């Protein structure tokens, strides 16, 4: 996964935010717009410069120079006279241009810039994505998780998306993944029929009345049965719920109630209850319908009825509603009918209807989830978590929660204790700084063979290979073991030791080096060590005189020299999460007896799920607990 072909790497410019991703990741959901945008044929069509500028004939190079607004005409003439082809053009440097006869500094600067720009386009061409960087980044993260987790993959819910970005995210998902495909990325209600945009609108309405942090499917008629008794067995006494109905005419509407369903045959009040339509017969846009007044008849609880709203049954779902047309709507009794609409017909076209699906979801303001994910700090939370001397007392350690109910008091006190423990752990790490400095010094003088250069989605890291391999039987240990490392980096280990025959063979196989250069290397018996040391003047002395050829050979040797030194390994995971893992491996190597795994408190709130999955990917089974053990459990996986 990490050692991807360069052809599979895509450089994205997402409204000014630059991202690196594998093309196979973008194409993982078949028939999506992303899959089509980055398929083989489209990729070739969209990147002609990347594929063709190296193959230009000297006539095409001349034409390019003549058309270029910043290149003087005399330069085009020089290129034509010297028959400079595309491959040679991309390799030309300032000295090469001088040898071709371009002497004026201003002209040299212009031509050098033009070639550099063309070279950049021929290498890492950024694809512009005109969508929110936050939203598109979230999509990329999901596609990567899909590729990584497979069986354990789960779509996002709106709870995972920043409140201000939810509507935009839903629309972005629907744009790239139309129809049912969208639910592989975003499935906030686990609904069998709602689009991302419809769920976003419904979530917005619910959030106006409840601090929504836990949405769970209680009942789906097609799965659990259409009898009213089956609805009640699944939904009674389950707290606040939202009911969503889809008719055989594909109209979608429903209602929310904050009062739990029962089967006692009574009307009940539900102060926050409302009805809604997401798609109706009259063409009305998605609309929320509030109660006409807070009454005792917001909902009707009867064992032989399905979900029923209002004293005159504004919405009534009959027993076995899929096999009859006994269900009906009559909005305007307990709930406001939208202006200009016919109360008993605007939702479905007539009063009675037949249901195609009914779904009921629990809508809970989970207390622990709300505490973790709250956006606003309260007066009881510390304004700073700065680590101070152990003799000082911070607000965090002295605050009390006596004014809260007992259950909240207990939870917040537990959180206070956890934060205090985290502070102590942070202080312990701070106390170990001298050890860490010694560790870094030791690392700095490590054998070069033990240093690994990583490109983690565009963030560059340097780490010891022995650190990556410290946990035996992990995927990291196998990925960077001796045999795999040798196989994946043959140039790094062998090019300096090439015989002159191997140098000759390399030159003959190299697509950009003319055959006559291979003959010169063979005649002069140039070995690998000598090859890597050759400069422009050395090549001239060997008999290579043509500027274009000199430029090509110099570039090929430079590329080989770079590969023989610092070859970056691409890691297709979150830089934050992988960096945290590296930090833990380093601490493990450094602290040994004092080492402790990370807990949830140590991980940024928005990265916790991704981090757990990344840990489980690299450290399957019990190994994961060496890195991440949020509950200090002896058997739970990181993700659980």
Domain locations in the chain as residue ranges: 51-123, 214-364, 374-427, 433-489+568-626, 491-563
Q: 491-563: same fold as 51-123?
A: yes
Contact 107, 75 (CB under 8 A): yes
Question: Is residue 2 scored above 90 in pLDDT?
Answer: no
Over residues 300-352, the pLDDT tens digits come to: 999 999 999 998 899 999 999 999 999 999 999 899 999 999 999 999 999 99
Over residues 244-292, the pLDDT tens digits come to: 999 999 999 999 999 999 999 999 999 999 999 999 999 999 999 999 9
Architecture field, domain 51-123: Orthogonal Bundle (1.10)
Q: Write phi, then psi, for 381 (nearest 5 degrees).
A: -95, 145
Rg, the chain, Cα only? 33
Q: Which helix (H) or strand (E) holds 459?
A: strand 459-464
In what order do the strands lie in the sheet containing 126-129?
17-22, 9-14, 126-129
Question: Rounded to whole angstroms, how far apart are CA atoms 604 and 583?
Answer: 15
Contact 147, 28 (CB under 8 A): yes
Reduced to 3 states (helix: H, G, I; strand: E, B; else coil), residue 508 is helix
Over residues 538-578, the pLDDT tens digits come to: 899 899 999 999 999 998 898 887 766 656 788 888 888 99
Contact 627, 578 (CB under 8 A): no
CATH 2.60.40.3880 for the 491-563 domain, yes or no: no
b/e string for 409-436 if b means 16 or more Cβ within 10 A? eeebeebbeebeeebeeeeebeeeeeee
Which one is the CATH code of 433-489+568-626: 3.40.50.720, 3.40.190.10, 3.30.710.10, 2.40.30.130? 3.30.710.10
Full 3-state SS string of 294-323: CCCCCEEEECCCCCEECCCCCEECCCCCCC
Question: Is residue 423 scored above 70 in pLDDT?
Answer: no
Over residues 383-400, the pLDDT tens digits come to: 333 333 334 444 444 454
Reduced to 3 states (helix: H, G, I; strand: E, B; else coil), residue 526 is coil
């Amino acid at each position: 996964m990490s050692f991807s072909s360069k052809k599979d790497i895509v450089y994205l410019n997402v409204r000014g935010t630059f991202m690196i991703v594998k093309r196979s990741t973008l194409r993982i959901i078949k028939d999506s717009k992303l899959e089509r945008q980055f398929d083989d044929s489209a990729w070739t069509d969209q990147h002609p410069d990347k594929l063709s500028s190296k193959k230009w004939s000297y006539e095409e190079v001349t034409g390019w120079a003549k058309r270029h607004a910043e290149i003087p005409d005399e330069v085009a003439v020089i290129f034509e006279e010297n028959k400079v082809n595309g491959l040679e053009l991309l390799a030309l440097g300032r000295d090469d241009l001088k040898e071709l006869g371009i002497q004026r500094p201003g002209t040299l600067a212009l031509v050098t810039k033009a070639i550099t720009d063309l070279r950049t386009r021929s290498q890492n061409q950024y694809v512009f994505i005109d969508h929110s960087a936050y939203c598109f980044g979230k999509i990329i993260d999901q596609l990567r998780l899909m590729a990584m987790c497979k069986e354990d993959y789960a779509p996002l819910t709106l709870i995972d998306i920043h409140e201000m970005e939810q509507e935009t995210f839903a629309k972005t998902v629907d744009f790239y993944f139309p129809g049912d495909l969208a639910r592989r990325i975003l499935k906030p209600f686990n609904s069998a029929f709602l689009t991302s945009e419809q769920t976003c609108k419904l979530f917005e309405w619910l959030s106006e009345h409840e601090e929504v942090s836990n949405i769970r499917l209680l009942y789906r008629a097609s799965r659990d049965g259409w009898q009213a008794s089956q609805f009640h067995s699944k939904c009674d006494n389950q707290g606040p719920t939202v009911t969503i109905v889809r008719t055989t005419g594909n109209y979608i509407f429903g209602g929310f109630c904050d009062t739990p369903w029962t089967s006692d045959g009574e009307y009940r009040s539900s102060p926050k209850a409302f009805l809604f339509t997401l798609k109706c017969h009259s063409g009305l846009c998605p609309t929320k319908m509030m109660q006409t007044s807070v009454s005792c008849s917001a909902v009707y609880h009867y064992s032989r009825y399905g979900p029923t709203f209002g004293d005159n049954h504004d919405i009534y779902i009959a027993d076995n509603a899929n096999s009859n047309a006994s269900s009906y709507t009559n909005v305007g009794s307990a709930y406001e009918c939208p202006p200009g609409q016919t109360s008993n017909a605007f939702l479905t076209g007539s009063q009675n209807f037949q249901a195609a699906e009914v779904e009921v979801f629990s809508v809970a303001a989970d207390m622990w989830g709300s505490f973790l994910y709250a956006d606003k700090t309260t007066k009881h939370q510390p304004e700073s978590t700065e680590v101070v001397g152990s003799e000082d007392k911070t607000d965090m350690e002295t605050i009390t929660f006596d004014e809260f109910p007992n259950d909240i008091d207990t939870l917040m006190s537990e959180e206070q204790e956890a934060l205090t423990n985290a502070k102590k752990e942070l202080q312990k790490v701070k106390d170990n700084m001298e050890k860490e400095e010694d560790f870094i010094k030791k690392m700095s003088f490590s054998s070069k063979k033990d240093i690994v250069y990583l490109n983690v989605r565009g963030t560059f890291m340097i780490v010891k290979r022995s650190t990556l391999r410290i946990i035996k039987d992990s995927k990291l240990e196998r990925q960077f073991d001796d045999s795999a490392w040798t196989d994946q980096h043959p140039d790094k280990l062998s090019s300096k030791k090439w015989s002159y025959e191997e140098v000759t063979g390399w030159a003959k196989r190299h697509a950009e080096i003319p055959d006559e250069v291979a003959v010169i290397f063979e005649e002069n018996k140039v070995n690998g060590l000598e090859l890597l040391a050759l400069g422009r003047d050395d090549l001239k002395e060997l008999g290579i005189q043509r500027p274009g050829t000199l430029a090509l050979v110099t570039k090929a040797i430079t590329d080989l020299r770079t590969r023989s030194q610092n070859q970056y390994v691409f890691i297709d995971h979150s830089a934050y999460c992988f960096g945290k893992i590296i930090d833990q491996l380093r601490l493990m190597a450094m602290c040994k007896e004092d080492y402790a795994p990370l807990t949830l408190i140590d991980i940024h709130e928005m990265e916790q799920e991704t981090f757990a999955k990344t840990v489980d990917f690299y450290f399957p089974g019990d190994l994961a607990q060496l890195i991440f053990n949020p509950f200090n459990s002896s058997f739970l996986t990181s993700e659980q």
